[in-house]
Structure 1
Amino acid sequence: MDIKSFQEMLKKLFLALFVVAAVACSANPRVKLDEGAGALRPNAKQELIAKDLVSLLEKAHYKKVPFNDSLSSVVFDLYLKGLDQGKNYFLQSDIDSFQPYRAVLLNDLKNGDLSSMFQIYNVYRKRFNEQLTYAIAQVDAAYDFTKDESFVYNREDLPWFKTESEAQANWKQRIKYDLLNLKLSSTGKEGEDAKNRKTIKERYQNLLSQVKTENNYDAFQIMMNAFTGSIDPHTNYFTPEDAQRFNENMARSFEGIGAQLTTDNEVVKIMRIVPGGPAFRDKTLKQDDRIIAVAQGNGEFVDVIGWRLGNVVSKIKGPKGTTVRLKVIPAGQELTSTPKIVSLVRDKIVDEEESAKKEIKEVKDSDGKTYKIGVIKVPGFYLNFKEMQAGNPDYKSTTRDVRRILDTLKQDHVDGVIMDLRANGGGSLIEAVELTGLFIKSGPVVQVRDPNNRVEVNSDDDEGISWEGPLGVMIDRFSASASEIFAAAIQDYGRGVIIGNQSYGKGTVQSAVSMDNFISRADMLLLSARDKSNGASADDGMPQGAPKFGQINFTTFKFYRINGSSTQHKGVTPDVEFPTVFPADKFGESSEKAALPWDQIKSSTFTPYADLSKIKPELIAKHNERMKTSTEYKYLLDDIATFKERENETSVSLQEAKLKKEREEQEARNRERMNVRRKIRGLPEIQSNSPLPRLDNDFIEDESLNVMADFIALQGKA
């Protein structure tokens, strides 16, 4: 499907299903919000977004869910889980006080009333501050590491704390575990205990400082995702700031200095320098440098210590060609040190680290013949939608990157190609279709059904083909959505062999739509009048270019393989399958309570590329024969067995001798495995007094290369 067809399909859907109506704010009495220090309150814009978001999803979401008291109860539970999944902060008395909101939350959202949800959020912040403040005060207490007791680190299925003293007792156990953990990794030198306690204090203080910088949009994000998550797991609301971040990630490009940032104790520090960007070319900024002030061009510096990360990022990013100056404390120096001034001209950044890339590997088949295999790692199905619409001839996309890579692999005379889609969570539906088109001449790729049960077939209409040779596709449990569309099409056409684990099972399509498109004119005028009367900024300090009312990514279509089967829940089953540590009921669409069901429609009309039914049994037989003597395969089965034994564990020992013994036994097992692997590679053994080095080991890729060698050989014989 081309972009114009996709846009037309969306337009028809919204015209048929959605008409925004101006709805008056709730006439019901609102919950009285806390007025204490640090309490957050909703603004008029958020109330408006909530109201219109409910209206949109009630009318246009693929899944027709009754918006009733039962759904309200689901929203309530998801909201509490989103705030305190581990049950570490709320008390049972808090939960009891929230119960009157259970049946009315959804109706409140329909009316733009966020008071009850903000009331719950403010209680959470209050408890969070109380518990962390208490924890920091307890770090210097004496702890007996000889007592046989344990710390329950997973409280999700346990009751809420009945009293504050019960919560504090749990926090003391957590502190004890954190200290014991550091103690076991210490060398025993004098002063290490004090250093460990300082580390724990700083860790907790960092958590506190992050909460202090939260604003009402952070709270609103969690509230809206509790609502959207009650409908289906892949519908999400993004605040303006998060919408910009999501879209930049999809485009794999942005305009700025080319540095990824994080926060550490109220100070922003550099986590990574993006290769090729202004910061990379300038070579002044380094990882872990801290930014304490920002200036635009020749303007005055603004101190940013204590600011929330998003606001600092917005100050540093900006249009290509503009200048930003930074006051920077180099890594390792005290904050009181004299900062250096770094001046950088912003530029367009293309993050190649997160783009498709290649490797060429050599492998021998069972007859000793050597083959060259091009392995293309595809981390996501990305597309710079904005630049494509603007007509930029060099816009960024997965298909364009892979096409260029295939051209170079042909020049390198590879014998086969493997597309590595492991851990690829998907992305653009358009890109899934376009990428498939690189390997088939033309034909249907995926079927898409809208909420009215109308089915459209998305096809590759370009008869050009970029790679006609042997093809393999690697998938795993975390290959989802667009990855599954591509792998399923390759499998249904018989175009290549699929290798790995059963995929995630996400068979739905989300449309990313600016909420600016769904705010009624009457409501916009009302909001503008409120802003003027309150002296508020219309933009609320949001990032430049971001949608003012945020963005909703919601499920609008369900996709099906060209053979008619949905990938929902079932995913794609590989031709040559490995056992996996990650069971579908815990890691996959089947683990999501609100997920849509599996179903099936009519098959498309398509002409298979080849019939691999005779080759596949031979591939599996050769693979199974290798696995009988494979040490790595044995380790994989051991890991699966260990995971099953431990999947229900929720606690850890706080007795030093016992935990130390467990760690030493695990260390011995890891060392034994490492030495076996090193011996296979002809490397010397690692002695017990030496730290374990990192050994690049990708058993699944290695065996996939063997499968490809067999595949090429068998195709040649056929």
Structure 2
Amino acid sequence: MKASRLISTAVIALALSVPLALMARADGDSIPTSPNTDQVRTSKLVHGLLSDSRYAYRPRQLDPTMSTDIFERYLESLDPTKMFLAAADVAGFEAYEPRIGEAIRDGDVEPAYAIFMLYKERVGERVAHARALLKQDIFDFDGEDRWVYDREEAPWAADQAELDTLWRQQVRNDWLRLKLAGREPAEIRKTLDRRYVNLGNNVAQLDGEDAFQTFVNAYTAAIDPHTDYFNPRSTALFNQSMSLSLEGIGAQLQKQDDVVVIRELIAGGPAAISGKFKPGDRIVGVGQGKDGPIEDVVGWRIDDVVEKIKGPKGTQVQLDVVPGSANLDSEPVRIVLTRARVRLEEQAAKSKILTLPGVGEDGADRRIGVIELPAFYQDFQGRRNRDGDYASATRDVARILGEFGEEDVDGVVLDLRNNGGGSLNEAVELTGLFIDTGPVVQVRESGGRVSVEGDRASGVAWDGPLAVLINRGSASASEIVAGAIQDYGRGLVIGETTFGKGTVQNLVDLDRWPGSEEKRFGSVKLTVAQFFLPGGSSTQNRGVVPDIRFPVTVDAGEFGESTYDNALPWTRIASVPHTRYGDFKPLLPQLDVLHESRIAEDPEFQWWVEDVEQFRAERAKKYVSLNEAERRAEREREDTKRRERQEQRRALGLPLDPLAEDGSDDGLQANERDIALDTAREKAAEERPDPLLQESAAILADAMRLLDSNQQLSAQVLPESTQPGSWAK
């Protein structure tokens, strides 16, 4: 049996990455001098997978070149902005560089611990320096100083004096942002001192598990950009994100200073149903069962607090809560909740209907149904257990399409913007909602064997006009769906060229080999294959190119698969037979003309284009001025621009921007804002005008009208008139 079959869970065309944040653990304020036995075994298991061509799609041996690669990636993961370590520190680490490969292979990660310890020490020094700067008279802003924030390509600071200069400019920029937001010096000093203290505390509490996970991920990143190591806790979080469910109280939590705070209540969860919680409430103690001892969790890292709060459905948990409106030292309120299984609806498919007045051939209105799909999620365990209510992107989209049929919509826009991927199986099955039967994706394994995954269920959930909206953040499974729809000629693809991630990962449980009943070793998200569209083209590196293109928001050199130095190149294989429902090429020139004409008169779209151009220009600078008059003038120009646009919206009868009066930089980090107000602002942002979605619906309506009015063109574009995609309405 092939190795890929042995290790396969459900094949996953995973999202771009699952970040493994360095967060402080309450009891982890020291780094051991040597790895524990589980870490030794884990390192050897990970090496065994990634160096074996039976498992890894592109295995790589631990030679001296790779040791250098791992060494550099480890330093980059610890200090990506080069604001803590100096050139002398890095030079002192170079003795470890030739040993890195052996350390991974043998499970001897002492070099990683030694580097990590000095990194923590340097962070402490930098924090102390930043706090000392707050007491100095350095906050005059009438010169020509700049803060260069993009240090990705910068060399390591030559010495501590150069680091002092870098931090001086960063602290001054932090101060200036708050000053421009109207804060007084005493308040600014207090806010920034607390910010730097929190940074120091978080890093000071990092432990050996953090060092180990970061180090192993430097190794996995040297294999390819999408191979990752997850420790047992990170594995559980990943599975939770894919299943869109958890067992707990149903609340989104956030760390503020030393306390975990409720950010949002999840509808239908125990916390929301109880009616006893509000955003901003602080959790200071957690106890198990109805009357178990309470543990003081102030100062804990957030994932440790979450671990205490979560638990099997039906069990109870006690929470000591201080209301957001009270002083932190107030007497807490004790609340007992019974845990339940909670569906995370925020990432689930959502729908709405846009009405386009008078755009039909006969001047009739068109109703365009929109499906927003943030991820291709699936509850793998629920599906294996034949749970009839398991989370599934395809099931949710099919339900929405059924509702659209009852609402008699004229066309559908599938919005995959910023959808980073997910389950390959869901991508295949979801494509099957729009095609009858046939191949959706070709999967080539490391040995060259190509298998075809396709839709085997006859019939469709939607056979009418279809458009797929994509952008640079659409990746992996999103590219499979958009590319397959394009290969079949089933619908129009609109937007920006996609990310370009054309590889397939499996989640490999490392505990399966030792046969451990406990979750001790974690898992590896391992690249095992490359996928190709039915037409034979890979999406790797090149992405999916839309039929109708919107302005580019970010360059391919800044974001996308092409930015990775070890990404696989683009290639192609033979196509597989598949139905061509249509060919939109004859229609595209007319659609482009109509699109360009319409957006020239669309103020919202033109404002968006202006903002994109300004954003790109600012990014290209890679610095900000530290001249107060210059920054204040920029801020006033932005404020004026928002006010004028809002007035134009009123004059033109356009929907107002709910954030027009609240768009200025407040100088705060996310964990420093009033949580209730910040959450409300996020909700308001969801209601902001979306000119790209509106224009996509208009393009689809254009195509419908042109095909309705020109039988010859319709026969040329959609020859399979009795099949899905006939667009007959």
Normalised TM-score (structure 1): 0.88
Distance 2:75 2:467 in 1: 44
Deviates more, 1:468-477 or 1:144-153: 144-153
Question: Over aligned residue pairs, what C-alpha RMSD do you find?
Answer: 2.4
Matched, 1:178 2:171: no
Q: Is the 8 A contact 1:679 1:685 kept in 2?
A: no
Matched, 1:82 2:74: no
1:14 Cα deviation after fit: 7.5
1:39 Cα deviation after fit: 3.3
State the partner residue of 1:432: 427
Matched, 1:10 2:4: yes
State the partner residue of 1:205: 197
Distance 2:464 2:68 in 1: 54
Secondary structure of 1:102's match?
A: helix
Matched, 1:701 2:693: yes
State the partner residue of 2:245: 253
Distance 2:509 2:114 in 1: 28
State the partner residue of 1:20: none
> In the comparison of the two structures, how many residue pairs are matched?
664
User: Any idea what the Cα deviations from partners look like across 1:88-132, whole Å, max 9, x if unmatched?
Assistant: 100211100011222221221011110001111111111011111
Matched, 1:157 2:153: yes
Distance 2:98 2:648 in 1: 59
1:337 Cα deviation after fit: 0.3
One-letter amino acid of the structure 1 residue matched with residue 236 of structure 2: Q
Secondary structure of 2:620's match?
A: coil
State the partner residue of 2:721: none
Choose which of 193, 211, 226 in structure 1 pairs with 2:218: 226
One-letter amino acid of the structure 1 residue matched with residue 635 of structure 2: R
Q: Is the 8 A contact 2:655 2:689 kept in 1?
A: no
User: Any idea what the Cα deviations from partners look like across 1:114-160, whole Å, max 9, x if unmatched?
Assistant: 00011111111110111112212332322323343222322332232
1:619 Cα deviation after fit: 2.1
Distance 1:321 1:691 in 2: 44
Q: Is the 8 A contact 2:643 2:661 kept in 1?
A: no
Normalised TM-score (structure 2): 0.87
1:292 Cα deviation after fit: 0.9
State the partner residue of 2:631: 659
Q: Is the 8 A contact 1:267 1:290 kept in 2?
A: yes
Secondary structure of 2:546's match?
A: coil
Matched, 1:610 2:582: yes
Residues 269, 177 of structure 1: CA spacing in aligned structure 2 closer, same or farther, 3 A cutoff?
A: same
State the partner residue of 1:288: 280
User: Any idea what the Cα deviations from partners look like across 1:296-343, whole Å, max 9, x if unmatched?
Assistant: 112111111122222111110000010101001111322210000111
1:273 Cα deviation after fit: 1.3
Distance 2:349 2:154 in 1: 44
Choose which of 513, 516, 522 in structure 2 pairs with 1:550: 522
State the partner residue of 1:630: 602
Q: Is the 8 A contact 1:209 1:265 kept in 2?
A: no
1:499 Cα deviation after fit: 1.0
Matched, 1:568 2:564: no
State the partner residue of 2:19: none
Distance 1:43 1:678 in 2: 65
Residues 398, 689 of structure 1: CA spacing in aligned structure 2 closer, same or farther, 3 A cutoff?
A: closer
Matched, 1:275 2:275: no
Secondary structure of 1:623's match?
A: helix
1:684 Cα deviation after fit: 9.2
Distance 1:422 1:710 in 2: 21
Residues 675, 569 of structure 1: CA spacing in aligned structure 2 closer, same or farther, 3 A cutoff?
A: farther
1:685 Cα deviation after fit: 12
Distance 2:699 2:32 in 1: 57
Residues 580, 517 of structure 1: CA spacing in aligned structure 2 closer, same or farther, 3 A cutoff?
A: same
Choose which of 116, 135, 140 in structure 2 pairs with 1:140: 135
Residues 471, 650 of structure 1: CA spacing in aligned structure 2 closer, same or farther, 3 A cutoff?
A: closer
Distance 1:709 1:129 in 2: 59
State the partner residue of 1:353: 346
One-letter amino acid of the structure 2 residue matched with residue 369 of structure 1: A
State the partner residue of 1:676: 648
Distance 1:678 1:588 in 2: 38
Residues 329, 689 of structure 1: CA spacing in aligned structure 2 closer, same or farther, 3 A cutoff?
A: closer
1:445 Cα deviation after fit: 0.6
Choose which of 249, 257, 260 in structure 2 pairs with 1:265: 257
Matched, 1:503 2:498: yes
User: Any idea what the Cα deviations from partners look like across 1:60-85, whole Å, max 9, x if unmatched?
Assistant: 21013343111111111111111101
State the partner residue of 2:206: 214
Give the share of equivalent positions with the same residue, in percent.
40
Question: Superposed, which structure 2 residues align to 1:568-587 within 5 Å?
Answer: 568-587=540-559
User: Any idea what the Cα deviations from partners look like across 1:47-72, whole Å, max 9, x if unmatched?
Assistant: 21112101111102101334311111
Unaligned 5+ residue runs, structure 1?
1-6, 16-35, 525-537, 540-546
State the partner residue of 2:112: 117
Q: Is the 8 A contact 2:356 2:367 kept in 1?
A: yes
Secondary structure of 1:447's match?
A: strand
Q: Is the 8 A contact 1:515 1:550 kept in 2?
A: yes
1:413 Cα deviation after fit: 1.1
State the partner residue of 1:19: none
Secondary structure of 1:103's match?
A: helix
Secondary structure of 2:527's match?
A: strand
Distance 1:312 1:280 in 2: 19
Secondary structure of 2:578's match?
A: coil
Q: Is the 8 A contact 1:426 1:483 kept in 2?
A: yes
Matched, 1:50 2:22: no
One-letter amino acid of the structure 1 residue matched with residue 497 of structure 2: Q
Q: Is the 8 A contact 1:213 1:307 kept in 2?
A: no
Secondary structure of 1:648's match?
A: helix
Matched, 1:474 2:469: yes
Deviates more, 1:318-327 or 1:56-65: 56-65
Q: Is the 8 A contact 1:256 1:316 kept in 2?
A: yes
Matched, 1:329 2:317: no
Q: Is the 8 A contact 1:373 1:414 kept in 2?
A: yes
Choose which of 227, 241, 245 in structure 2 pairs with 1:235: 227
Distance 2:420 2:479 in 1: 9
Distance 2:217 2:348 in 1: 28
State the partner residue of 2:14: none
Distance 1:645 1:210 in 2: 34
Residues 447, 654 of structure 1: CA spacing in aligned structure 2 closer, same or farther, 3 A cutoff?
A: same
State the partner residue of 1:489: 484
1:37 Cα deviation after fit: 7.3
1:599 Cα deviation after fit: 0.5
Residues 71, 327 of structure 1: CA spacing in aligned structure 2 closer, same or farther, 3 A cutoff?
A: same
1:410 Cα deviation after fit: 1.0
Matched, 1:39 2:31: yes
Residues 415, 37 of structure 1: CA spacing in aligned structure 2 closer, same or farther, 3 A cutoff?
A: closer
Distance 2:148 2:663 in 1: 30
1:40 Cα deviation after fit: 4.1
Distance 2:477 2:135 in 1: 51
User: Any idea what the Cα deviations from partners look like across 1:367-412, whole Å, max 9, x if unmatched?
Assistant: 5321111101101000000111112121111011111111111111
Distance 1:486 1:629 in 2: 32
Matched, 1:386 2:404: no
One-letter amino acid of the structure 1 residue matched with residue 301 of structure 2: R
Q: Is the 8 A contact 1:79 1:223 kept in 2?
A: yes
Higher relative contact order (CA 8 A, sep 6+): 2
State the partner residue of 2:717: none
Distance 2:573 2:391 in 1: 34
Distance 2:210 2:585 in 1: 53
Q: Is the 8 A contact 1:258 1:273 kept in 2?
A: yes
Q: Is the 8 A contact 1:678 1:685 kept in 2?
A: no
